[in-house]
Each structure stands twice: as structure tokens, then as C-alpha cells.
Structure 1
């Protein structure tokens, strides 16, 4: 059974974490499979939006604690394994950010610890009402320090700190209020609502969205003056694209643009 199931609908790729018996935990195999899919998608310009979902009753329960326990059997009590594991997980999260296409998390059931990190790392997220989000490993004596990186960049710092230090879960409505997800929808509408958002993005000029996503994250790390200088350069490059000129001409002529995408 494949750890990741991929299905494409037009320009939208859907990646489904497929280890429902383990609540789609980010095991060594799952991280490797997800990274491989992301590396493939990075070179596929015909795909203009990506959805990450989970099979079974949960989106993702975080790291595989059984594997982590086995890692302690090494002579160094697992120190090298843990360092490598958290490094590989961080690389996957950074690959989502670096992916040219926008990535949307389709979340249901539970998104816990590194699973919540995965949601926070995606560019957007849609969740079913009743979904629970938490960075709860503090309850077992492990502070979610690596999930904290994505979470603290997705929600206000006081909300992130409360989640990290109390281990408490928030529901989908609260996750929407604090900005962890874009919207909460009825469970039976989750897949269609996520696909609608993905298709809306995929219908845009792919080249413009690709350079825009890259610039979005680049400017967040800059001061305001530098950010304006950088994004001015990006917009200038965007204006030089033939398909952008076509889009402007189509708008002025009150017709649909003729984009090859």
C-alpha cells in the first residue's frame, strides 16, 4: 500500500496521506513519500494547485511515537536518530513553502503535533467542523519546538504560546478565528469546498501565481522598505510576461484571456 496516494483533477493534484491505521503519522516512510511527491510536483508546471489530505478518521496525528521509541535502542539513546528525524520533517515543511504551486491542507478529525505543523506549513487550509488542532506533546513531556516554527508564523504569538504550553486542542471554528485555517465547513462538504478553492487558484495564470508565492514568503522575512523594493522588482518581471499583457488586454476588451498556462 502506497504511503501517499496521488490523484489529479485537471490542474489540481491531490496527495492523500495513506496510513489510516496509524492516523497518518509522519513516520520515516511517510516523510520520505511526501518529500518524493513534493519534489516531483516542483517540476510539473501543468499542476497549478496541490491539496494534502488524510485517509481514515484523522488528517495526521504527528510523529510516529512507536518509531521514536524504537530509535532509543541505539547506543546514543536515539540522539542522532531524533536529530535526523526532526531535520527531515523540517525539510518537508520547507519544501511545501518552496513548492511553486499553492498547497491547501484538507483537514478532518485530528491534526496533532507535527500534524498541526503540517497544516500551518501549507499555504491555506480548509477543515471540517469538529476537527481538533493541537500541539499537545507537552502533555507527555515533549515541547513541540519544531511545530512551533510553523505555528508561530501562522497564528498570533499569544495564541500559539497558549497552545504550546497548555497542550490544549482548539476546534475548527477557533482555528479559523486565529488564522490557522481559512474556513471551516460541514464534514460532507469538506472535499468539495477544498477542491473549489484549489480550482479557483488553478484557474489563475500559473506563472503569476508561482512568482507571487515565492515573493510572498520572501518579503515576509524583510523590512518594509526592502520588501517594497523586492516586490516592485517582482511585479516588473511579472508585467514583462506575454501572458500578463494578454490578461490586461483581455480585461480592457471585456473578454476572457487566452492563456496557454
Structure 2
């Protein structure tokens, strides 16, 4: 198949789980077209009442290599040396990442290769990262004369400050064991078991009450920014709502 014919995103549904597979191997770069295609697929999955969980996969030895540097380079010939393009690119990318993180439906990154720069941002934006033992993680901006500033927004919400600084300041590549011990990933599996294990877990979550999970996810994010007393007060309201949900009442009264 000609590479031009490869879809940017492939979608596959199974047991209330939508698997979104990044195309354009081997690097799966976050070109502007890729960002827009993935954002469209995320929006479709969020609107689909048959889907309760979203899994993001970048198959092969590179999960996602981040922004398309060749595409960025082509805009250096613009009158403003690409500034307007960069502003639009990073704005669109940030909107995508926020929709993934704040999705009412759980999101899982399935990482079997290297997730680097914006590719690591994409994985870290998800609620969970399931990785293989051959996966690796990198924020290489400092080695290219820059700094992975926007990727760090997502990654820093998983790591301690010291771990975050180590990644961002060194630009080094870290293996799956380091990522697990640092709290960046949730579970590590042999490569040949990763897909089955991830999908099994995703289907387990997808079988739960989606309304309660959506409310609970929102509250988890919100309460972290609140004073303790307000966090408990608002969480109590959400918790009462869970117990008063008509679906739960029917299930418990029919036992």
C-alpha cells in the first residue's frame, strides 16, 4: 500500500472500547493533519453512547515521535519564519490534549515503543499508560536547542518535580522500569502480552456505570485544586449523586 493511502487514524470497536490506532508508521508524527484527525476521532468517541473507554495505540517501535519537524521546517520560508503556523499548531495540539485529559470517558495509552516529546505528551495526557517492557520515554527538546515545554504540562502531572526536571533537563531516554517506578506508567507487560492485557483492562472499566465514572473523573480533577474542606464538600455532593442514581437504585432494590 502506498503510504499516501494509509489512514492517519484507524478506529476499532470492541465491547464498549474504541481503539484509535495512529497511522503513518514508523514515527506516527503529530503533524497538523494528524492532530486534527485524532481530535475528530476523540470527539466522535465522546459523542458515541456505545463507547465507554478510549485506547490510543501507536503500533511499532515508535509510539509517537511528537511534532513533525519536517513540516515545521517547511514553514521557515513563511514571511514570519513560521510563527503564525507554530502558534496555530501548538494551540490545536493543546486543545486535543485537554480534551483527552478531561474526557468523561477513561483514556488509556498503549505504548509498545518510544514515546518522545509530543508523543510522550499524548501518552501522558491519557488517564492511564500501559507499556511494554521495550517501551521508552523521552523529552529531548534540550538536545535540539529547545525545551519540551508543552509536553511537560502533561508529563509533570504524573511525575514528581525532581523526576520531571530530570527528564526535561537531561533530554535522556528512560526505560519502562524507570517510568513505572517514577509513576509515569501504570503497568508494564511483555510486548507480546501488552495488547491483550490493555484491552482486557479497558473492557473491564467499560463494563462499569459510565455516568458515575464521568462524574467521578471530573471530581478527581477538580478537587485537586480545591482547599480540603471544599474538596470534601463537593465530593460529598457527587458521592450522594452516585448513590441516588436511578440505575443504582433500581439495581439495589431489585436484588
What's the TM-score once normalised by structure 2's chain length? 0.94
**Distance across 2 between alignment mates of 1:26 and 1:221:** 30
**Distance across 1 between alignment mates of 2:62 and 2:230:** 42
1:99 to 103, 124, 132: 103
| 1:9 match | 14
| 1:220 match | 224
- Whether the aligned pair in 1 keeps the contact of 2:60 and 2:112 (CA below 8 Å) is no
1:60 is displaced (CA, Å) by 0.4
Change (3 A) 1:188 1:26: same
**Distance across 2 between alignment mates of 1:247 and 1:149:** 41
- Structure 2 counterparts to residues 40-189 of structure 1, below 5 A: 40-189=44-193
1:6 is displaced (CA, Å) by 0.2
Q: Residue by residue, what CA displacement relative to the aligned partner does 1:97-116 show, whole Å, maximum 9, x if unpaired?
A: 22221000000111000111
- Structure 2 counterparts to residues 220-259 of structure 1, below 5 A: 220-249=224-253, 253=255
**Distance across 2 between alignment mates of 1:67 and 1:52:** 23
- Whether the aligned pair in 2 keeps the contact of 1:19 and 1:55 (CA below 8 Å) is no
1:119 is displaced (CA, Å) by 1.2
**Distance across 1 between alignment mates of 2:106 and 2:218:** 10
Query: How many residue pairs get matched?
Result: 250
- Whether the aligned pair in 1 keeps the contact of 2:63 and 2:113 (CA below 8 Å) is yes
Q: Residue by residue, what CA displacement relative to the aligned partner does 1:88-147 show, whole Å, maximum 9, x if unpaired?
A: 111110010222210000001110001111111100010010211011121001100001
1:45 is displaced (CA, Å) by 2.2
Q: Residue by residue, what CA displacement relative to the aligned partner does 1:162-213 show, whole Å, maximum 9, x if unpaired?
A: 1001001111111111111101100000100101110110111111111111
Q: Give structure 1 stretches of 5+ with no counterpart.
A: 254-261
Q: Residue by residue, what CA displacement relative to the aligned partner does 1:22-72 show, whole Å, maximum 9, x if unpaired?
A: x10111111000100111111112211110001332110111110111121
| 1:28 match | 32
1:85 is displaced (CA, Å) by 1.0
- Whether the aligned pair in 2 keeps the contact of 1:52 and 1:106 (CA below 8 Å) is yes
What's the TM-score once normalised by structure 1's chain length? 0.92
